[in-house]
């Protein structure tokens, strides 16, 4: 996978946005299997646009204009296989959105984010169809956001990344790998204007499922659609064969061959791949020849023709291009559980970065297959320390999930990156606590070097102890967590650790001690949050007079925060907690004092919901 790096300076009016450098390669690698190409099997406009999966059972999102008036739809997946589109589940012409139903299960899908949080200047990555000649990935920033009047609700936003016809329906991702919108475009004065439909509009559309379903095809018609697609690919083959330039002809032929393999026409695919190779061999420039052969070899591997792919890759004369071809083939072999063969191929990669990438891919696939001991061995052979630590972290957590605690601890001890090891040990300790192995879990925390992480681990263990009736022991553990938190020198880290400990104390009913700890938290916003949690727990315990007094403290402290934008969310949370505790009148008073209209609306909605649950909705 190529490394996609964003480096941009955007100026909007008088606003200057600082240069950002964003590493997108891992996000792209994780998201790509959920991206699809929308195609039609009727022989007209074969390639319609891009799309992406939002559920494991085949819900696919694209632009409404991509599929409007189209029939015999199919979704071509990242690996070249096809999903038959069986239904149109919901449409939103205003936002140019449609949700389709693909015939599949246990499919990879993308997580939906919150488009109301997007900001001008925020870095984004757009992932579309891998069949696009300009590339599947484009990066940029958000250069304008349009909101509904008097509301903090994003209606649409524009991006600097280009949205071509083929990129319509692409997922727009933030730096967390979450979908924040769906890319589209419109024509204005002869110019193509890129815009993004916000993901929250998609969420609203998804809530309407299932509406009146319009059938496009039925599962029984899938074979008919594939037959039509095969005929269409035959037509595409004739077009590819007529291309004069040998480089473009070879690439086009390999695309057709890969698509043929995707619909089960393996013999035809092999024959067309051979045509592609012969076309490439007529390229006179050796470097261009190497790149064409690399492209064909990767297409063969995606079609699961690994023997042919390896044989072709081995014939590439340029060593750097040959290594790149092997690097791209190895993960595909690992996905196919061909681990021994993948490890052998990895040895043919001449550069350290390529070997590191390949070993990481193999180890990660071994973890998914549950071959943890072998994955551990492979991970230890990774040359680059940060990557080795990252993979060992993944293995250690998988071992803990499998209750292989001794092996998990051994794997964690091999992690050299000091920023990763504490978090892994915390994870192992928490899984042990879930298994009610409390003494061992507490012992693990002693090996956590980062004292703030150690404090959080102890607090988590204590809560789990209290949950199974070990309240007295949990109090002892919380006191130990408190001592660790108080020893943290960094003021900000100490504040966050004390916040977590105080909240944990409140949740296990250690209310007076939680109140004492809360008063020592320097950060006013965190102190307000903790007091809100304590008051809520006091109300649950029947100490309603104390609860309302502590709620009032939380309000006063919230109003003293130094950053005004923090005030409205804090008051919203207090109002909601008061309502859940049954203090409806006071909750409404707090809600009415919230300046931000959106947070005020959220608070009032939460209060009304709490009243409904309490059976006082009429009031």
Q: What is the CATH number of the domain that holds 278?
A: 1.25.40.10
Average pLDDT over residues 279-308: 91
Candidate from 40-44, 358-362, 570-574 with smallest mean pLDDT: 40-44
CB-based contact 61:202 (threshold 8 Å): yes
Q: Answer with the one of 302, 322, 350 that is the final residue of a domain.
A: 350
The pLDDT value recorded for residue 219 is: 45
Are residues 256 and 186 part of one domain? no
Residue where one domain finishes, among candidates 327, 350, 373: 350
Same domain (yes/no): 163, 25: yes
Closest residue by Cα to residue 441 from 454, 270, 373: 454
Q: Using alpha carbons, select from 266, 264, 268 the residue that is nearest to residue 236.
A: 268
- Is 452 part of any domain? no
Q: Where are the alpha helices (DSSP H) in 303-338?
A: 306-314, 319-335
What gap in Å lies between CA 600 and CA 466, rounded to an integer? Answer: 35
Question: For the whole prediction, is pTM greater than 0.75?
Answer: no
Tell me what pLDDT residue 211 has.
42
Is residue 10 one of the residues assigned to a domain?
A: yes
Quick check: 307 pLDDT over 50? Answer: yes
Count how many residues are written for the chain.
Answer: 619
Domain boundary among 295, 316, 350: 350
Number of folded domains that form the chain: 3
Band of pLDDT at residue 10, cut at 50, 70 and 90: very low
Write out the residue range of the structural domain in which residue 581 sits.
539-619
Residues 158 and 306 in one domain: no
Q: Which of 46, 43, 37 is nearest to 100 (CA)?
A: 37
Average model confidence (pLDDT) across the chain: 83
Average confidence (pLDDT) over 238-244: 82
Is the pLDDT at 147 greater than 90? The verdict is no
Residue 204 in this model has a pLDDT that exceeds 70: yes
250 domain-assigned: yes
Average pLDDT on 264-281 reads: 91
Mean per-residue pLDDT, 49-73: 89
Average pLDDT over residues 32-49: 76
448 lies in a domain?
Answer: no
Residue 253 inside a domain? The answer is yes
Mean pLDDT of 267-275: 92
Q: What pLDDT shows up at residue 259?
A: 82
Start-to-end C-alpha separation, the chain: 59
Average pLDDT over residues 385-406: 90
Based on the fold, state whether residues 544 and 618 are members of the same structural domain.
yes
- Does 446 map to a domain? no
Q: Averaged over 127-143, what is the pLDDT? A: 73
Residue with tokens 């060992």: 392
Question: For residue 210, is the peptide bond before it cis, meaning its omega torsion is within 30 degrees of 0?
Answer: yes
Let me know: does 126 contact 171? Beta carbons within 8 Å: yes
| pLDDT at position 173 over 90 | yes
What pLDDT score does 184 carry?
85
Exposure of 566 by Cβ count < 10 A (0-12 exposed, 13-18 middle, 19+ buried)? middle
User: Could you tell me the pLDDT band of residue 40, with boundaries at 50, 70 and 90?
Assistant: confident
Please calculate the CA angle 470-472-476 and round it to the nearest 5 degrees.
Answer: 110
In a domain, 228, yes or no: no
Share of the chain above pLDDT 90, in %: 33
Average pLDDT for 566-593: 91
Q: Is 410 within the bounds of a domain?
A: no
Q: 277 and 190 in one domain? A: no
**pLDDT above 50: residue 20:** no
Query: Can you say whether the dihedral through the CA atoms of 544, 546, 547, 551 is positive or negative?
Result: positive
Instruction: Look at 130 and 338; give whichever has higher pLDDT.
Output: 338
pLDDT at residue 493, rounded to an integer: 82
Residues 170 and 318 in one domain: no
Percentage of the chain modeled with pLDDT above 70:
88
Q: Which pLDDT score is estimated for 42?
A: 62
Same domain, yes or no, for 172 and 271? no
According to DSSP, the residues that pair with 100 across neighbouring strands are 60, 88
Same domain as 190, residue 61: yes
455 φψ region: left (φ > 0), alpha (ψ -120 to 50), beta (else): alpha
């Amino acid at each position: 996978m190529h490394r996609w790096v964003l480096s941009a300076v955007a100026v909007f009016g008088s606003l200057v946005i600082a240069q950002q450098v964003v590493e997108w390669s891992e996000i792209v690698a994780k998201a790509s299997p959920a991206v699809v190409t929308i195609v039609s099997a009727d022989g007209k406009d074969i390639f319609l646009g891009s799309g992406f999966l939002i559920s494991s059972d085949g819900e696919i999102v694209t632009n409404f204009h991509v599929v409007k008036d189209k029939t015999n739809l199919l979704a071509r997946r990242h690996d070249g296989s096809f999903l038959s589109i069986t239904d149109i589940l919901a449409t939103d012409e205003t936002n140019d959105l449609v949700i389709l139903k693909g015939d599949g299960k246990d499919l990879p899908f993308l997580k939906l984010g919150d488009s109301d949080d997007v900001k001008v200047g925020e870095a984004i990555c757009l992932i579309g169809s891998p069949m696009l000649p300009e590339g599947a990935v484009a990066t940029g920033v958000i250069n304008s956001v349009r909101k509904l009047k008097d509301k903090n609700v994003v209606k649409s936003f524009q991006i600097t990344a280009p949205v071509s016809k083929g990129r319509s329906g692409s997922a727009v991702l933030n730096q967390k790998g979450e979908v924040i919108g769906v890319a589209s475009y419109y024509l204005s004065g002869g110019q193509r204007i890129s815009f993004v439909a916000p993901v929250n509009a998609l969420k609203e559309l998804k809530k309407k499922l299932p509406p009146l379903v319009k059938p496009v095809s039925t599962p029984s018609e899938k074979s008919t659609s594939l037959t039509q697609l095969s005929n269409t690919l035959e037509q595409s083959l004739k077009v590819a064969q007529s291309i004069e330039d040998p480089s473009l002809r070879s690439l086009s032929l390999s695309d057709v061959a890969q698509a043929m393999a995707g619909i089960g026409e393996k013999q035809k695919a092999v024959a067309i791949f051979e045509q592609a190779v012969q076309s490439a061999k007529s390229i006179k420039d050796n470097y261009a020849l190497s790149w064409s052969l690399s492209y064909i070899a990767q297409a063969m591997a995606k079609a699961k023709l690994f023997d042919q792919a390896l044989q072709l890759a081995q014939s590439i004369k340029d060593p750097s291009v040959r290594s790149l071809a092997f690097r791209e083939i190895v993960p595909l072999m690992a996905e196919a559980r061909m681990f021994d063969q993948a490890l052998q191929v990895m040895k043919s990669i001449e550069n350290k970065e390529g070997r590191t990438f390949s070993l990481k891919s193999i180890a990660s696939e071994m973890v998914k297959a549950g071959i943890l001991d072998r994955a551990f061995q492979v991970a230890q052979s990774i040359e680059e320390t940060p990557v080795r630590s990252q993979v060992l972290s993944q293995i250690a957590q998988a071992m803990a999930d499998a209750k292989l605690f001794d092996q998990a601890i051994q794997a964690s001890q091999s992690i050299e990156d000091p920023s990763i090891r504490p978090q892994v040990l915390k994870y192992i300790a928490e899984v042990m606590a879930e298994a009610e192995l409390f003494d061992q879990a507490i012992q693990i925390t002693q090996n956590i070097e980062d004292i703030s992480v150690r404090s959080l681990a102890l607090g988590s263990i204590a809560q789990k102890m209290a949950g199974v009736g070990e309240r007295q022991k949990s109090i002892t553990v919380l006191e130990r967590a408190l001592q660790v938190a108080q020893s943290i020198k960094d003021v900000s880290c100490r504040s966050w650790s004390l916040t977590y400990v105080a909240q944990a104390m409140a949740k296990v009913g250690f209310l007076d001690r939680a109140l004492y700890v809360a008063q020592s938290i320097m950060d006013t916003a965190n102190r307000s949050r903790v007091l809100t949690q304590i008051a809520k727990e006091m109300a649950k315990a029947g100490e309603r007079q104390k609860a309302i007094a502590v709620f009032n403290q939380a309000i006063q402290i919230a109003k003293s925060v130094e950053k005004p934008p923090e005030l409205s969310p804090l008051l919203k949370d207090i109002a909601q907690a008061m309502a859940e505790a049954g203090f409806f009148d006071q909750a409404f008073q707090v809600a009415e004092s919230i300046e931000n209209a959106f947070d005020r609306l959220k608070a009032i909605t939460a209060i009304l919901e709490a009243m409904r649950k309490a059976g006082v909705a009429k009031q």
